[in-house]
Structure 1
Amino acid sequence: MLFAIGISFTDWLLVDTPVWRGLAHYRTMRSDAAFHAALRNTLYYSAASVPLAIALSLGLALLLNRRWAGMSVFRTIFFVPSLVSGVAVVLVWGWLFNPRYGAVNGLLGSLGLPQPGWLSDPRWAMPTIILLGVWSVGGIVVVYLAGLQNVPTELYDAARIDGAGRWQMLRAITLPMVSPVTFFLMVMVTIGSLQVFAPVYVLTEGGPRNATLTLPLYIYQNAFRFQKYGYAAALTVVLIVIALALTLLQLALARRWVYYTGWSGR
């Protein structure tokens, strides 16, 4: 990080002596339309994918935590996709959502429904990338399962004796008891969402019309396509600052809703 900060104040081609530029790269960002698009898209992706991934993972974990016959098989089915190479998943996703021969549009066409250009239409490209991010939640589900299985069963037994229903137990017992897990996952998933790169690089390369251009991809383009290493370093610093700011914000808000045994932040 310190190296990136230092390079962000210079122009450097790796093989020559760095030339001091001061805050020039940071000033350039104010008028860089591509940077504005990348920043907006990155925050949009994070704001949409994180809540969806957390909510979906918790819902799946609650279902998989039930004591039904064959449940271990279903747990394995949900976890296996997270072991597949990220690039392989992206390629399969690209095939599914191909506007000409993809399975999704094939199904929509058979039902007489419109067939969007999922990755070629600026209106649909980023939502499609978000769906891909939300789909890969197997690892998050496993963490939630571990948290749910650590909730003392005595709490549920006492609640049933008092006449509490499932929704009441979910709200008063389950959610507070797994709130530390939720907080941990929110921080980690948020940081991960700010680093989204493979889906947009493989599927759209930031297009169409910068609709899926993200900060990590823009950093890559400036460093390895345009050889603007100083500007790429400055963009990296901005991304780190955003991640740090969001983490500190989550830490500050955690005291209002995260519950620990023997202590509640609320």
Structure 2
Amino acid sequence: MAEPEFIDLDKPNAARVYDYYLGGSHNFAVDRQMAEEAIAMWPELPLIMQANRAFLRRAVQYCVKRGVRQFLDLGSGIPTVDNVHEVAQREAPGARVVYVDTDPVAVAYSKNLLVGNPDADIVRADLRDPDQVLGAPEVAELLDLAQPVALMMVAVLHFIGDEDQPGRIIARYRDALAPGSFLVISHATAEGRPDVAGSHADLYRRRTTTPLTMRPKAQILAFFEGFELVDPGLVHLPLWRPASADDVGAHPERFTGLAGVGRRP
């Protein structure tokens, strides 16, 4: 079993905190302490994270149904239930998936999960360096960039600050993708819960090495430049092609994440 490299246990890690929100076990006391502090401030957080995971599942299924058999999952995090490769390969056996993350815990657990799966691998790299990611041997081995790829950026862009120019980063990936590729984004926003979103972002700023940048809808829409948004556009998490009315709930705007999928023409 692969073991993670040195882990800084003095600061919570966003991937491990997210794992805790989802009910996972790949987290440490420092992560759980911060997560509980955040939940005390905002009790709906676990439900929001579950809605985000459900969006990822629906988006992968959507891409598979439109013929995509390759997935590049940036900032993939710690494996939990219904990872991209599990959803994609259940729908289309042989679908190929490359995960990308910088966190040693996420990489170690992903490698263990993927043992014996020749169609999925993980790269330890920083998504802010598209050349490093796209040039990784794992990408060259599993993905044919001349064919459509689903580029997954689920719950990760809000950890990329404006100073890193996320739009420029996305454009570099976009330019490497073939026509017919898809861009899948979910992103934190204060719209819907401005009363608690600011204090939540402040908690990440104070406690972690990955500050949270919540963005308004117009700014997130701009990330889809060069892609054609598919229906229903950029909407709150439960509203993106829900499987049933029960998935939406009475107040979907309280799920303070926006989700959308764009197709490269």
TM-score category (smaller protein): under 0.3
Higher fraction of helix: 1
Higher fraction of strand: 2
TM-score by length of 1: 0.24
TM-score by length of 2: 0.24
Structure number with bigger Rg = 1
